[in-house]
């Protein structure tokens, strides 16, 4: 090893903590880069392959049951490569537990070309055999194996059936019942695949189908075809049609991928740029402190490049060590993360793969980042002449600060120590700015997870406490009349009950169009409550509709605008309805109207899709076995799931807070140390003048307190900006994140940041306690 | 009489411009012969450091020319000057300028690594009386010891020219004398041309020739037919 390299190594060892914190910044950035990117790529690659090999459909259409033959017309449309008619029915299954899970029965055919199943175990049921293939995760959660016999409950009747296979489907990678249930609940919801003739027989829908999946030619535009089908098949009973982009499972998986990709850029970008900035100041300080040594090296014959290279190596070592550790940790974390995802995503081909370009990039990026700033700093070597070695130490740069010039009166009144602090800050404005920026960034990074946690709670409490006040929602397989209400009252003790009706509607505003399920409620509804974006309570209007914020934004609609609505229930006839208000909705998106408004549009009278009710009893247990009951939602179940997944969120919050802390520590510890070594002679002189060690430390403390104050002030808007950015990129038909920040979030974040800074100052005190000021004053060793 | 190793012709050095300009050297011409030990004496500000910097290839004159073994240094590029300092010149500084993170031996190796055929660091250090303390760090060495290491560092490259800037300036009397006799020994054993600048006139007695400087000019050149051994110098 060259002697200069040996010196470098000793410099690093002598400033382990300083060096280590910057390496740690690179480490965290690159660990995030590698793990997120690798997971994102593994996910999207597996997804793409699964979709390709198992022919994931491009269009998904729901119909009222019609003759199978009617679907053939879909295949005649130009651009449609294949179409398959299916029967999709939600039933329940007796798995020997008290509560029967919901099983979505989806028909399959032997020569199926679209949405083919990946068989994990067993084989698909044949012919008229009473067999079904179960979604593997559901089977696992319920302890079901191939060969087990279970009973399907369809309209109250039991049908014994044998499990012949455990499968995965491209359609149910993220298996949730509907958009309201954003978390998979493999115990209580699953999918069973049954041959079409058998399913038709079991449901009494012989020769009929209610769902179509379409595979398009590569050149066809799915959106165009969707519109065409909507126009031409509405009177045939088309309920809704979505492209792959809006298919629930795919939409959720893509959303997750999008976030992962976003994080794979944001986090490394923050950490790397901070590491690069800190590196710049560290190398600058090294060069400044080494002026005489640099002169000596040049005088004895080292070339500029060789000397600059010495300092550049320091910067490169930071980048390289951080990158190497980060890549190793990233690969490990990537594996863990991929495993975590495989708990949510039923993706059979999911495996972590190594993507060499990303590994190379993960090493190159930090080396280039820290190398670039290191080089800028190391280039200062060039301007130091060899004769510097002959000069006595230069006096510290000084002079009156602007404050002195602009407000001499104020300056004169400042206590001496504050003058010292202010001069110190003004002399190294850029480094002070970095310290303040470090505090601000730490604030933002710590703020974000607390904002999300607060949001979690807000969404949860407002959506299920304020907006939707019912305990249970009971949906029926076949619509019922209002006579069902007294029937239900006979079965369970209810404290409130209201019917509701649901129909998919196509809504158009200008050129913008959406298909949504409209929910119609009694005008006097007490179980639903609406609020506009200012928080003002909105009553459900007798005529006109309410639109959720996300939908309104997507359609470019404001209160008072007219919408065009149509549905299979209106036989394709288009109606104009006014939007009475835009209302808050955090989970899913919706269109709300009164039952009267719905009856006006559809001409349908006393027909309801389900009831909302409050009851002290376990309605789920009582009503689920009822013949016509399709599903019983319990707000309680949803809140339990939320709480469960909240734990996961809490874990990621801890990680974010720690990362934020590291960021703050890395910046402040280094700027404080650089400041000390830069001013050591000044401090030494003060010691000689009679300042105590504590008083000298007090100067450093004051300087950092100023940075803390400025950083906190700048951190609040920065944190909000980050939150807005994250929220707005998360908003979709599935989620709408409100920008409400609880005051407590600001306070808690600020307290944590103060704690981090206090920690830094504690470590700095340990260092100040050890400095031999008098030696620093006389020594010329570098 | 041996041939000239370094020769300066009509050197001027002016710092700054216009009214604030300072003239450090005024028309200095001199010639130093190979194998000589010469001393430049003069008060601070007399221009001796500036002259040393120019002779050592660390600075350029405003006008005039410097020849090293007949080659015109004033026409050299920065890279050529670096090579000149690397191959031909050894520097000894008033404040030693050792690197604190390197041991004595490593400080010498730092210079030795610059040339293809250096003297072994251990050997030079031994010669400088530092055998026992080779693996100590500078902070564990006295000023005199540090200066011995610095001389060893300069010698390891086997320079033809050893330039010493106030080599005893930071040392006590006895240590100073030891360092001076060491420089004389270097001159005798290795045949290195030694140039010492000092404000201490007493040092002049040990030189083969003495250049007295004042206000940027050489005011006197004196041959010492019988140089006094350093041990006998008193100040």
Interface of A with B in 506-535 (CB under 8 A): none
% of chain A residues with pLDDT over 90: 43
Give the tokens for residue B176.
Answer: 């100073």
Tell me, yes or no, if A16 comes closer than 8 A to chain B by beta carbon.
Answer: no
Question: For chain B, which residues lie within 8 Å of any Cβ of chain A, measuring from their own Cβ?
Answer: 49, 52-53, 56, 58-59, 78-79, 82-83, 85-87, 89-91, 93-102, 106, 109-111, 113-114, 138-139, 153-154, 157, 165
**How far B224 CA lies from chain A's nearest CA (Å)?**
28
Angstrom distance (rounded) from CA A75 to CA A215: 9
Flag whether pLDDT at A544 surpasses 70.
yes
Note whether B114 contacts A302, CB cutoff 8 Å.
Answer: yes
Q: In what order do the strands lie in the sheet with A238-243?
A: A80-86, A208-216, A59-67, A238-243
HEC string for A243-264: EHHHCHHHHHHHHHHHHHHHHH
Q: A636 vs B72, which has greater pLDDT?
A: B72
> How would residue A782 be classed by pLDDT, with cut points 50, 70 and 90?
very low
| Sign of the CA dihedral with A552 first, then A555, A558, and A561 last | negative
**Least CB–CB distance from B58: residue in A11, A386, A392:** A386
Note whether A293 contacts B99, CB cutoff 8 Å.
Answer: yes
Angstrom distance (rounded) from CA B32 to CA A259: 75
Angstrom distance (rounded) from CA B102 to CA B96: 13
Angstrom distance (rounded) from CA A134 to CA A149: 12
Profile chain B (235 residues) by mean pLDDT over runs of 10 residues. Answer: 86 86 92 94 90 92 94 92 94 89 93 92 91 92 91 92 90 88 90 93 92 94 90 82
Note whether B59 contacts A385, CB cutoff 8 Å.
Answer: yes
pLDDT (0 to 100) of residue A392: 63
Alpha helices in B56-158 (DSSP H): 78-87, 104-112, 121-127, 143-156
Centroid of chain to Cα A4: 47
How many Cβ atoms from other residues are within 10 Å of residue A434's Cβ? 22
pLDDT (0 to 100) of residue B102: 92
pLDDT (0 to 100) of residue A780: 53
User: Are the C-beta atoms of residues A633 and A472 closer than 8 Å to each other?
Assistant: yes
pLDDT, tens only, A156-167: 788 999 999 999
Note whether B85 contacts A298, CB cutoff 8 Å.
Answer: yes
Note whether B97 contacts A782, CB cutoff 8 Å.
Answer: yes
% of chain A residues with pLDDT over 70: 96
Give the tokens for residue A688.
Answer: 């000689």
pLDDT, tens only, A663-689: 888 888 888 888 888 888 888 888 888
Give the tokens for residue A235.
Answer: 């009177």
Give the tokens for residue A659.
Answer: 């990362």
Lowest model confidence (mean pLDDT) among A98-107, A405-414, B126-135 = A405-414
Q: Compute the average pLDDT of residues A423-443.
A: 88
What is chain A's length?
Answer: 782
Angstrom distance (rounded) from CA A676 to CA B110: 29
**How far B84 CA lies from chain A's nearest CA (Å)?**
8
User: Are the C-beta atoms of residues A11 and A313 closer than 8 Å to each other?
Assistant: no
H and E: helices and strands count for chain B:
6, 10
pLDDT (0 to 100) of residue B193: 95
Residue A534 Rama label (left phi>0; alpha psi -120 to 50; beta): alpha
Centroid of chain to Cα A242: 24
Backbone angles phi, psi at A476, to 5 degrees: -105, 150
Q: Compute the average pLDDT of residues A18-28.
A: 93
Angstrom distance (rounded) from CA A304 to CA A295: 10
Give the tokens for residue B203.
Answer: 């040092």
**How far B149 CA lies from chain A's nearest CA (Å)?**
13
State the best of A299, A391, A775 to mutate against chain B, taking most chain B CBs within 10 Å: A299
pLDDT (0 to 100) of residue A353: 74
**Least CB–CB distance from B114: residue in A7, A301, A392:** A301
Classify strands A472-480 and A608-614 as parallel, antiparallel or unpaired. Answer: antiparallel
- Nearest residue of chain B to residue A301 (CA atoms): B86
Centroid of chain to Cα A757: 28
Angstrom distance (rounded) from CA A528 to CA A584: 12
Q: Which residues pair with A167 in a beta bridge?
A: A119, A135
Angstrom distance (rounded) from CA A715 to CA A753: 10
Classify strands A629-634 and A472-480 as parallel, antiparallel or unpaired. Answer: antiparallel
The residue ranges of DSSP E strands in A391-549, in sequence order, are 472-480, 496-509, 512-521, 530-531, 537-538, 545-548
Note whether A3 contacts B94, CB cutoff 8 Å.
Answer: no
Give the tokens for residue A592.
Answer: 């709300």
How many Cβ atoms from other residues are within 10 Å of residue A98's Cβ? 8
How many Cβ atoms from other residues are within 10 Å of residue A298's Cβ? 25
> How would residue A604 be classed by pLDDT, with cut points 50, 70 and 90?
confident
Interface of A with B in 361-390 (CB under 8 A): 385-387, 389-390
Angstrom distance (rounded) from CA A364 to CA A173: 35
DSSP type of residue A465: I
Q: List the one residue out of B32, B137, B183, B130 whose CA is nearest residue A779.
A: B137
Structure ipTM: 0.91
């Amino acid at each position: 090893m060259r002697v200069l390299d040996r010196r470098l190594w000793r410099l690093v060892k002598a400033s382990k903590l300083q060096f280590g914190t910057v390496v740690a910044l690179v480490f965290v950035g690159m660990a995030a880069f590698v793990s997120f990117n690798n997971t994102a790529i593994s996910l999207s690659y597996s997804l793409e392959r699964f979709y390709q090999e198992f022919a994931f459909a491009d269009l998904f259409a729901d119909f009222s049951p019609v003759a199978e033959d009617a679907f053939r017309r879909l295949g005649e449309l130009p651009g449609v490569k294949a179409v398959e008619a299916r029967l999709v029915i939600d039933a329940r299954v007796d798995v020997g537990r008290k509560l029967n899970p919901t099983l979505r029965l989806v028909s399959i055919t032997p020569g199926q070309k679209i949405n083919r199943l990946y068989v994990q175990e067993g084989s698909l049921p044949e012919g008229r055999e009473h067999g079904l293939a179960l979604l593997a995760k559901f089977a696992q959660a319920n302890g079901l194996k191939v060969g087990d016999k279970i009973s399907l409950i369809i309209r109250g009747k039991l049908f014994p059936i044998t499990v012949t296979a455990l499968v995965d489907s491209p359609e149910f990678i993220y298996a949730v019942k509907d958009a309201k249930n954003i978390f998979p609940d493999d115990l209580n919801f699953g999918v069973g695949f049954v041959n079409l003739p058998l399913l038709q027989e079991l449901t009494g829908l012989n020769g009929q189908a209610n769902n179509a999946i379409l595979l398009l030619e590569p050149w066809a535009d799915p959106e165009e075809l969707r519109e065409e089908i909507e126009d031409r098949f509405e009177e045939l009973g088309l309920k809704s049609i979505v492209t792959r982009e809006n298919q629930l499972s795919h939409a959720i998986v893509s959303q997750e991928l999008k976030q992962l990709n976003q994080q794979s850029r944001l986090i490394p970008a923050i950490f790397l740029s901070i590491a690069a900035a800190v590196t710049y100041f560290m190398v600058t300080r090294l060069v400044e402190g080494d002026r005489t040594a640099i002169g000596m090296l040049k005088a004895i014959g080292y070339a500029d490049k060789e000397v600059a290279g010495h300092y550049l190596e320091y910067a490169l070592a930071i980048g390289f060590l951080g990158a190497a550790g980060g890549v190793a940790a990233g690969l490990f974390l990537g594996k863990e993360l991929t495993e975590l995802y495989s708990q949510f995503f039923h993706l059979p081909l999911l495996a972590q793969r190594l993507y060499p370009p990303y590994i190379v990039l993960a090493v190159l990026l930090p080396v280039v980042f820290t190398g670039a700033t290191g080089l800028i700093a190391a280039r200062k070597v060039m301007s130091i002449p060899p004769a510097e070695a002959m000069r006595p130490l230069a006096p510290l740069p000084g002079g009156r600060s602007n404050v002195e010039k602009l407000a001499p009166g104020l300056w004169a009144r400042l206590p001496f120590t504050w003058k010292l602090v202010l001069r110190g800050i003004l002399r190294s404005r850029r480094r002070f700015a970095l310290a303040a920026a470090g505090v601000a960034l730490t604030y933002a990074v710590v703020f974000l997870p607390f904002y999300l946690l607060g949001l979690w709670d807000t969404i949860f409490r407002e959506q299920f406490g304020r907006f939707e006040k019912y305990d249970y929602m009971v949906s029926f397989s076949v619509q019922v009349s209002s006579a069902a209400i007294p029937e239900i009252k006979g079965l369970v003790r209810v404290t409130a009950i209201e019917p509701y009706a649901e129909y998919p509607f196509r809504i158009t505003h200008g050129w913008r169009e959406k298909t949504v399920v409209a929910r119609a409620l009694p005008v006097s509804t007490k179980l639903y409550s609406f609020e506009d974006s200012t928080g003002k309570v909105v009553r459900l209007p007798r005529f006109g509709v309410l639109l959720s914020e996300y939908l309104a934004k997507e359609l470019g609609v404001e209160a008072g605008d007219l919408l065009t609505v149509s549905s299979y229930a209106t036989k394709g006839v288009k109606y104009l309805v006014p939007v009475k208000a835009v209302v808050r909705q955090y989970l899913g998106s919706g269109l709300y109207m009164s039952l009267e408004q719905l009856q006006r549009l559809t001409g349908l009278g006393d027909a309801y899709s389900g009831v909302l009710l409050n009851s002290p009893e376990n309605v789920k247990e009582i009503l689920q076995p009822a013949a016509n009951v399709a599903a019983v939602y319990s707000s309680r179940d949803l809140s339990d799931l939320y709480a469960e997944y909240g734990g996961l969120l809490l874990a990621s919050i801890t990680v974010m807070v720690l990362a934020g802390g590291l960021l703050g520590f890395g910046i402040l510890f280094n700027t404080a140390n650089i400041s000390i070594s830069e001013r050591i002679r000044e401090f030494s002189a003060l010691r000689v003048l009679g300042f105590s060690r504590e008083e000298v430390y007090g100067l450093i403390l004051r300087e950092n307190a100023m940075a803390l104050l400025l950083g906190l002030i700048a951190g609040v808007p920065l944190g909000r900006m980050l939150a807005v950015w994250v929220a707005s990129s998360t908003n979709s038909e599935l989620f709408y994140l409100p920008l409400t920040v609880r005051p407590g979030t600001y306070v808690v974040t600020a307290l944590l940041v103060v704690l981090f800074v206090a920690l830094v100052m504690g470590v700095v005190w340990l260092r100040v306690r050890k400095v031999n000021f008098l030696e620093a004053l006389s020594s010329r060793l570098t | 009489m041996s041939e000239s190793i370094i020769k300066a012709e009509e050197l001027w050095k002016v710092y700054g411009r216009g009214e604030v300009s300072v003239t450090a050297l005024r028309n200095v011409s001199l010639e130093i012969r190979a194998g000589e030990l010469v001393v430049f004496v003069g008060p601070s500000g007399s221009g001796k450091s500036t002259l040393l910097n120019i002779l050592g290839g660390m600075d350029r004159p405003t006008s005039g020319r410097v020849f090293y073994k007949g080659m015109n240094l004033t026409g050299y590029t920065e890279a050529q000057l670096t090579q000149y300092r690397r191959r031909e010149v050894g520097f000894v500084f008033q404040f030693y300028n050792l690197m604190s993170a390197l041991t004595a031996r490593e400080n010498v190796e730092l210079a030795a690594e610059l040339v293809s055929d250096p003297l072994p660091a251990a050997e030079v250090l031994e010669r400088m009386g530092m055998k026992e303390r080779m693996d100590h760090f500078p902070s564990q060495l006295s000023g005199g010891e540090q200066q011995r290491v610095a001389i060893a560092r300069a010698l390891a490259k086997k320079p033809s020219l050893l330039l010493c800037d106030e080599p005893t300036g930071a040392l006590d009397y006895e240590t100073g004398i030891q360092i001076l006799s060491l420089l004389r020994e270097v001159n005798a054993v290795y045949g290195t041309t030694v140039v010492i600048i000092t404000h201490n006139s007493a040092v002049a007695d040990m030189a083969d020739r003495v250049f007295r400087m004042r206000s940027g000019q050489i005011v006197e050149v004196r041959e010492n037919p019988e140089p006094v051994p350093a041990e006998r110098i008193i100040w």
